[in-house]
């Protein structure tokens, strides 16, 4: 079984409780996308399969240990004829790490918009780069990531092309869970880059404080997808990043938003 699929396959322990595998390596901080993907997978396991994810909002309260598994407690909030809502709390060693809300709905007919006629790059022509940082827990042998940083409009825009390179089952939920996992990788970086910094440089105290996703259309994780992000504002030691997840056909599959800590480091004391 692939490392990526194993990581996102949460195991039900009893009613409403799930165990998410450790991402590794031990001694490292867990990647935020792990909590996003595993929380969504746990919530979805308690919902009728006809109801697909529509929204997810997750707050990061404490950092997690990458070498340890994560316990997820799913609380039913609402179940209607076409919609459901869940709360998901993540724990390690009894400590609450993240708390999330997730909504699900049966697809309904209605007006549609959100499609780009042409995409800005040909991902096949780009160099395989990996994410903008070390990402020690991501199985990069199974996820092809290619980055483009663009200042041509006068505003910094990061374009992250990605696709999964291992065979995936034809399961719409799994493809969405993978997309939520991948889209979180170093998403805070645009709020730093506009000031000449980055997550790699570690010049600031930085980390995600909350993350949100609104799902619009199905995603195919085994085809090229584009995460395009920018930072509209930063103040009081916090930065906000907004973005879109687009499929290879130019359709906007999801809207993304994230807030992160980007505070200056205190000078070292003698």
Tens digit of pLDDT for each residue in 184-217?
Answer: 998 988 998 888 876 666 666 778 899 999 999 9
Distance from C-alpha of 29 to C-alpha of 63, rounded to nearest angstrom: 6
The residue assigned the tokens 């990069």 is 140
As a whole number, the mean pLDDT across the chain is: 93
Is the bond preceding residue 215 a cis peptide, omega within 30 degrees? Answer: no
The predicted structure's pLDDT at residue 134: 83
Domains detected in the chain: 3-107+129-264 (2.40.160.210)
For 222-248, write each residue's pLDDT tens digit.
999 999 999 999 999 899 999 999 999
CB 242: neighbour CB atoms within 10 A?
Answer: 17
Burial environment of residue 49 by CB neighbours within 10 A (0 to 12, 13 to 18, 19 or more): exposed
Residue 200: per-residue pLDDT: 65
Q: pLDDT tens digits, residue range 58-96?
A: 999 999 999 999 999 999 999 999 999 999 999 999 999
Percent pLDDT > 70 in the chain is: 96
* Other Cβ atoms within 10 Å of 206 Cβ, number: 22
* pLDDT confidence bin for 14, thresholds 50/70/90: confident
What is the percent of the chain where pLDDT is above 90? 82
């Amino acid at each position: 079984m692939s490392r990526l699929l194993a990581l996102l396959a949460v195991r039900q322990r009893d009613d409403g409780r799930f165990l998410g595998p450790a991402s590794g390596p031990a001694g490292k901080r867990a990647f935020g996308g792990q909590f996003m993907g595993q929380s969504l997978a746990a919530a979805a396991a308690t919902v009728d399969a006809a109801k697909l994810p529509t929204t997810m909002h997750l707050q990061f309260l404490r950092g997690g240990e990458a070498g340890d598994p994560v316990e997820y407690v799913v609380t039913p909030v609402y179940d209607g004829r076409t919609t459901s809502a869940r709360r998901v709390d993540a724990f390690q060693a009894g400590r609450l790490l993240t708390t999330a809300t997730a909504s699900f709905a049966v697809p309904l007919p209605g007006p549609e918009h959100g499609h780009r006629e042409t995409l800005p790059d040909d991902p096949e022509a780009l160099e395989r780069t990996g994410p903008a940082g070390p990402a020690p827990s991501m199985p990069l042998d199974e996820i092809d990531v290619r980055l483009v940083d663009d200042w041509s409009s006068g505003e910094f825009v990061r374009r992250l092309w990605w696709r999964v390179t291992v065979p995936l089952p034809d399961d719409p939920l799994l493809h969405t869970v993978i997309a939520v996992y991948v889209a979180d990788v170093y998403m805070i970086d645009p709020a730093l880059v506009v000031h000449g910094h980055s997550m790699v440089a570690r010049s600031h105290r930085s980390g995600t404080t909350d993350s949100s996703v609104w799902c619009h259309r199905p995603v195919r994780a085994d085809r090229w997808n584009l995460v395009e992000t920018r930072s509209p504002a930063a103040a009081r030691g916090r930065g906000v990043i907004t973005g879109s997840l687009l499929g290879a056909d130019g359709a906007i599959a999801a809207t993304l938003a994230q807030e992160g800590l980007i505070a200056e480091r205190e000078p070292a004391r003698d």
